[in-house]
Amino acid sequence: MQSHLYYPAVKFFPVHNVIPLFKVNQPERHLVETKRGVRAGKNKQRSIRTITTVKQDRLIKHNRGVNPNNLTPINTGHKINKPNKNTRLCVLNCRSVRNKAIKLNEFIIENKLDIFALTETWLTDSNDQTALAELVPTGYSIPSVPRNKRGGGVALIFKSSIKSTKPRLEKFKCFECLDSLVSIKQKNPRLIIIYRPPGKSAELFFNEFQTFLEDVSHSNSELVITGDFNFHYDKDNDKSSSRLKNILDTHSLYQHAKIKTHKRGHILDLVISRESETSIGKLTVQDHILSDHFPVFSDLEIEPTNFPVQSLQVRNLKNFDKNVFLSELEITQFQDIVDLDNVNIKAIQFIELLQSVLDKLYPAKTKNIRIRPISEWFNDDVLQAKRSRNKAERRWRKTKLHVHQEIYQQEKHNFTRIIKKAKQSYYSDKIHNSSNKAKEIFRVSNSLSNHNYGATILPNSDNDQQLADKFSS
């Protein structure tokens, strides 16, 4: 009898060619008297083999650490806006500011623009002050440029912390041009906005534009030319486009926009700078339902400016104690002021006395406040409408479906309607509550009509007396 057990299928093969299935341990022999059912072997002792199998080690190693593969990222739906280290410029053909002032105002704030160049504003000097008041957010400025024509129009909106020379509206027959020298930190780029109406003569435009570039080329400032040229710049076989490219090459100018800027798939809005300058950085075009043109964003390689800072004198009067104030007032020379005969002198000294007591008990402190875009009429209804609009916009940009685009347009119109309703309710309540305060009513009406009557309108002068004598002479 063999000392190992084998598969039955291979029991007739030689032993050395078979792998044993079980391991047989024979540490010692146990002799037992057994009977096999035959008389010959009933008194024969036989050994009983102990058969054991080899057990595999199946110990589970527990990893107490974190497996990154088991973590699922959560899509919050919000993009983390990293602070932009460049000045953000945007150009847009808005096709009338009058009916889009609120939308453009929100567009400036949401995209954190530093400079906003607009073409085809359709603004005039007659009855557009209300539209300008709705268009420009708090902390931004728009220089007024006189123009009497209807249609067309160019405008420049920028942060109030950015200094600018008064823009010049160059007069040409075939295009409008707004030329301004802006000051951003230590750099002074020259920003030129151009709008060419599509019905004008192309040949006359090229002659005037080339003459204009010859004058501009002598400027030492960095040059940025942007606007709507109304040429299909992406068509190589177009004669007007080829002519414009040759003019730019002649003056060593480079055009940065390479993506379609119009809904029909052409490049009409251009951003131009000198080839030797690196003023224009990243350029992007966003499909935004504001006009048939798309907004063109570009980063100027200039450190951006913050919003302007206003210094205020504040006092902490939360813990004002009337008794302490009166006792301090009695210690002073209050009675001497009462005994004066001249009412004007008495009033002046009394105000000075109160001022000195306040400075002693509650000294004034200087606090710097950064003027940021604020909306006093912003309420929960506006917030909910804004969230619905942003949700519809994200869905449309993700799917690119026409039905989602229509939903997004409806949400935008609804958002604008709720803003108008909130502003109307806010200013109506404010005027009603200030019915007995004429100064407050005039201040509210001035803000709504974009009239800054509190601004100084006198010419600059080092000596007020000389200025008064000049007016009297």
254 shares its domain with 227? yes
The reply to whether 71 falls in a domain is no
97 shares its domain with 244? yes
**Residue 118 corresponds to which tokens in the numbers above?**
């607009």
Res. 312 pLDDT band, cuts 50 70 90: confident
**Residue 349 corresponds to which tokens in the numbers above?**
């000294």
CATH code for the domain in which residue 249 is found: 3.60.10.10
The reply to whether 213 falls in a domain is yes
d(CA 329, CA 76): 60
Evaluate if residue 456 carries a pLDDT over 80.
no
192 shares its domain with 272? yes
The pLDDT, as a whole number, for residue 82 is 56
Is residue 310 packed enough to be buried (19+ CB in 10 Å), middle (13-18) or exposed (0-12)? exposed
Domain enclosing residue 433, as ranges: 380-449
The pLDDT, as a whole number, for residue 45 is 63
The pLDDT, as a whole number, for residue 172 is 87
396 shares its domain with 252? no
384 shares its domain with 366? no
d(CA 185, CA 305): 7
Structural domain count, the chain? 4
The pLDDT, as a whole number, for residue 5 is 46
44 shares its domain with 118? no
Q: Please compute the mean of the pLDDT values over residues 177-193 and round it to a whole number.
A: 88
Q: Greater confidence, 419 or 82?
A: 419
Start-to-end C-alpha separation, the chain? 143
196 shares its domain with 330? no
Evaluate if residue 337 carries a pLDDT over 90.
no
Asked whether 135 and 142 are in contact (CB, 8 A), the reply is: yes
Beta strands at 223-228 and 190-195: parallel, antiparallel or unpaired:
parallel
**Residue 168 corresponds to which tokens in the numbers above?**
């010049």
Q: Which of 412, 435, 465, 424 is nearest to 99 (CA)?
A: 412
> How many CA atoms within 13 Å lie on the side-chain side of 315?
12
Which of residues 300, 323, 346 is at a domain's end?
A: 300
Is residue 91 packed enough to be buried (19+ CB in 10 Å), middle (13-18) or exposed (0-12)? buried
d(CA 360, CA 148): 58
Place of tokens 């048939």: 292
d(CA 137, CA 129): 14
Q: Please compute the mean of the pLDDT values over residues 90-111 and round it to a whole number.
A: 90
Place of tokens 């940009």: 397
The pLDDT, as a whole number, for residue 63 is 55
Q: Please compute the mean of the pLDDT values over residues 168-197 and round it to a whole number.
A: 88
Q: What is the pLDDT of residues 129-173, one digit of tens each?
A: 778 888 888 888 887 665 667 778 899 999 888 888 877 877 788
95 shares its domain with 240? yes
The reply to whether 59 falls in a domain is no
d(CA 24, CA 51): 5
Radius of gyration of the chain (CA): 42
The reply to whether 13 falls in a domain is yes
Amino acid in position 262? H
Res. 92 pLDDT band, cuts 50 70 90: very high
The pLDDT, as a whole number, for residue 401 is 92
24 shares its domain with 106? no
The pLDDT, as a whole number, for residue 84 is 61
d(CA 248, CA 210): 9
The pLDDT, as a whole number, for residue 314 is 85
The reply to whether 473 falls in a domain is no
Which of 271-280, 310-319, 403-412, 458-467 is the least confident region?
458-467
The pLDDT, as a whole number, for residue 317 is 84
Neighbours of 277 (CB within 10 A): 16
The reply to whether 170 falls in a domain is yes
Q: Greater confidence, 26 or 228?
A: 228
The pLDDT, as a whole number, for residue 203 is 92
- DSSP lists the bridge partners of residue 444 as none
385 shares its domain with 267? no
Which of residues 345, 370, 395 is at a domain's end?
A: 370
The pLDDT, as a whole number, for residue 354 is 84
- DSSP lists the bridge partners of residue 116 as 90, 157
Q: Greater confidence, 69 or 253?
A: 253
The dihedrals phi and psi of 138, each to the nearest 5 degrees, come to -65, 135
Amino acid in position 461? S
- DSSP lists the bridge partners of residue 274 as 253
133 shares its domain with 246? yes
Q: Please compute the mean of the pLDDT values over residues 385-406 and round it to a whole number.
A: 91
Evaluate if residue 411 carries a pLDDT over 50.
yes
Evaluate if residue 247 carries a pLDDT over 90.
yes
**Residue 352 corresponds to which tokens in the numbers above?**
């000075």
Question: Using alpha carbons only, what angle is made at residue 205 by residues 200 and 208, rounded to the nearest 5 degrees?
Answer: 140
The reply to whether 70 falls in a domain is no
Residues contacting residue 425 through CB under 8 Å, at least 6 positions apart: 377
The reply to whether 385 falls in a domain is yes
Greatest mean pLDDT among 1-5, 47-51, 403-407:
403-407
Res. 227 pLDDT band, cuts 50 70 90: very high
Which of residues 300, 326, 349 is at a domain's end?
A: 300
Q: Which of 314, 289, 284 is nearest to 299 (CA)?
A: 284
The pLDDT, as a whole number, for residue 329 is 78
294 shares its domain with 344? no
Which of 108-112, 175-179, 427-431 is the least confident region?
427-431
Element (H, E) at 225: strand 223-228
Q: What is the pLDDT of residues 3-20, one digit of tens each?
A: 444 444 444 445 455 445
- DSSP lists the bridge partners of residue 311 as 368
The pLDDT, as a whole number, for residue 184 is 85
